[in-house]
Amino acid sequence: MDLHADLSQRALHDTNALAWMPSPMAGVERRMLDRRGGEVARATSIVRYAPGSRFERHGHGGGEEILVLEGTFSDELGDYPAGTYLRNPAGSSHAPFSEPGCTLLVKLQQMHPSDQQRLVIDTRQSSWVPGLVDGLEVMPLHAFGSEHVALVRWAPGTRFQPHAHPGGEEILVLEGVFQDEHGSYPAGSWLRNPPGSVHRPWSEAGCTIWVKTGHLSATVGPDGLEG
């Protein structure tokens, strides 16, 4: 299956408007954002676990990256409430589940094989640092090579200068409304700007976004399930 699989093209979804599609496990559904492959795929998805749902043990040949959006996600290593940022490196495996139910942003098969750091960050307890312009705050989450991942908080009326993304940019709007010269993106919007793209973002109302840059020209090996 190919869905927005050409990383050189801009992509945009209102994730709230997408249909939930079944996964191989009962009670686990996904809204597909981009994908190349079948159940073994490079994929970005919103994944929903019904209360009590469990996924069989499986490996992640190309790694797994998760942001818990709602509820509590769990595996044999711990419980991860809403706001948790989680990275399971290439070659890892686990048997995930959710007792109360949860909703996640999940990225599969998109980690460099040398990026072997497992991360669990409770963003509700982490510190914000000043951004490059007044009104902007940043919570760095991960960096490896050209790849950088962060939460970014925009105060109402904040504007950023025009800038390029040599390695591309991916955004999920968590709260508020994010904007640029191409449109307005309310909470739940997912957008992917390709390598070499340029834009001039701002937020009149204020917003919080998950943002990842510098990763769209990278490829890794085969991965597992659940995205």
Residue 226 pLDDT greater than 60, yes or no: no
The whole-number average pLDDT for the span 88-93 is 89
Residue 225 pLDDT greater than 50, yes or no: no
Query: Higher pLDDT residue, 71 or 37?
Result: 71
Q: pLDDT digits over 178-191, tens only? A: 999 999 999 999 99
Residue 2 pLDDT greater than 90, yes or no: no
HSE on the CB side for 132, CA within 13 Å? 7
Beta bridge partners of 28: 49
In CATH, what number does 2-122 get? 2.60.120.10
Residue 135 pLDDT greater than 50, yes or no: yes
Residue 64 pLDDT greater than 90, yes or no: yes
Residue 20 pLDDT greater than 80, yes or no: yes
Domain 129-213, second-level architecture: Sandwich (2.60)
CATH 2.60.120.10 domain range(s) in the chain: 2-122, 129-213
The whole-number average pLDDT for the span 6-15 is 94
> Quick one: which of 225, 227, 215 has its CA closest to 7?
215
pLDDT at 60 (0 to 100): 79
Residue 13 pLDDT greater than 90, yes or no: yes
Q: Are strands 102-108 and 78-81 parallel, antiparallel or unpaired?
A: unpaired
- Per residue, the 3-state secondary structure of the chain, as one string, reads CEECCCCCCCEEEEHHHCCCEECCCCCEEEEEEEEEECCCEEEEEEEEECCCEECCCEEECCCEEEEEEEEEEEECCEEEECCEEEEECCCEEECCEECCCEEEEEEECCCCCCCCCCEEEECCCCCCEECCCCCEEEEEEEEECCEEEEEEEECCCEECCCEEECCCEEEEEEEEEEEECCEEEECCEEEEECCCEEECCEECCCEEEEEEECCCCCCCCCCCCCC
Which residues make Cβ contacts (< 8 Å) with residue 112, sequence separation at least 6? 90, 144, 145, 147, 218, 220
